[in-house]
Amino acid sequence: MKRIYKITLLVGITILVSSCHNNSAPNYQYFPNMYESLAYEPYSEAKIFKGGKEGQLPAEGSINRGFEPYEYENSTAGYELAKANLKSPLDSIERNSGKGKELFEIYCISCHGATGNGKGKLVEREKFLGVPSYKDREITEGSI
């Protein structure tokens, strides 16, 4: 009989302890400020900025995200001007020439051919037609 009382008491305590758990409440938080940031008004007065305004203009000379400035206009005249004036910022050293040769053999040779005449393997198999020869037009550093 004592055994039944002990089992009943144990089951009762288990039910009592498990029923007090609240699933909608979060567990204990470690560093609660990382989860619940302090709210502030973006246009409220701030003592660290000139004039006390938090909403400031962007710094002078800053560039919008996703925008890349280009000095030449997007037209045929701009293309010709860029073609004549732009120079590569890289030095023409053997290391760059070797890397350029490696990239040419990976990406260009299949269409343009080993000599750049526009008769690569894919053109011979008629997978692509109308691939130009590099000798058909003047290619400068600015036109690449």
* DSSP category for residue 14: H
48-97 per-position pLDDT tens digit: 777 777 777 888 888 888 888 888 888 999 888 988 888 877 766 777 78
Domain residue limits, the chain: 99-144
Give residue 141's pLDDT band: very low, low, confident or very high (50, 70, 90).
confident
- Most distant pair of Cα atoms in the chain: their distance: 105
Per-residue pLDDT at 46: 76
In this structure, the number of other CB atoms found within 10 A of the CB of residue 96 comes to 12
pTM above 0.85, yes or no: no
The C-alpha torsion from 86 through 92 and 97 to 98, rounded to 10°, is: -140
85: enclosing H helix or E strand:
helix 76-85
User: Is residue 113 a contact partner of residue 120, using CB atoms and an 8 Å limit?
Assistant: yes
Average confidence (pLDDT) over 110-126: 88
